[in-house]
Amino acid sequence: MENLLEILKYVLPSLIVFATAYYILHTFLKNQTILQQIKYREKALDQVLPLRLQAYERISLLIERISPTSMIPRVKVPQMNANELQVAMLNNIRQEYEYNLTQQIYISSQLWNLVTNLKEETVNMIASISANLPEDASSTEFSREIFQSMLNTKGGFPTNKILDVLKEEVKELY
């Protein structure tokens, strides 16, 4: 029994020292790992933030460029008829959308869905107006009908609403 007490005198304090050292070392290493992760995230954020801002800029430009109010003056040629203007507008929308397709990885899914819906609404509006015009309609008549349709859209054409969502997302970055 005396030998057991003698062994416990030496083993018990060393076990306590070992447990304390293990706990302190474990806590220290855990905190160091957390600090390294924070530094890594900060560095990644420093690299990704400019790309995300550029993506938001490009998406806002896409929204503006596929808006009929800015697209018609850009693609319309004086001798065009309504069908030629329709084709030019649809090609322009497709090219702009495809050019900015990769930006969806930097913006929210909600915003990307709004942009895609805007593109589809614009294409559908152009197609439906074109279908209701006579074969020999001029590009001026077609343009006038598009502007009239945009004015008559309940709640207005969604371009400004989508730009507001975009601005809110950019504010969240700061």
Question: Would you state the pLDDT for residue 118?
Answer: 95
pLDDT at 132: 92
Q: What is the pLDDT of residue 8?
A: 81
Q: From CA 161, how far away is CA 112, in angstroms rounded?
A: 13
pLDDT of residue 35: 94
In a domain, 123, yes or no: yes
- pLDDT, averaged per 10 consecutive residues of the chain (174 residues), comes to 82 91 95 93 83 94 94 91 94 96 94 96 94 90 92 81 92 84
| 67 within domain boundaries | yes
What tokens does 47 get?
Answer: 């690299």
Rounded CA separation 52/76 (Å): 33
Instruction: Establish if 127 belongs to a structural domain.
Output: yes
- Of 70, 32, 83, nearest in space to 157 by CA: 70
Does residue 31 sit within a domain?
Answer: no
**Residue 59 CB neighbour total at 10 angstroms:** 23
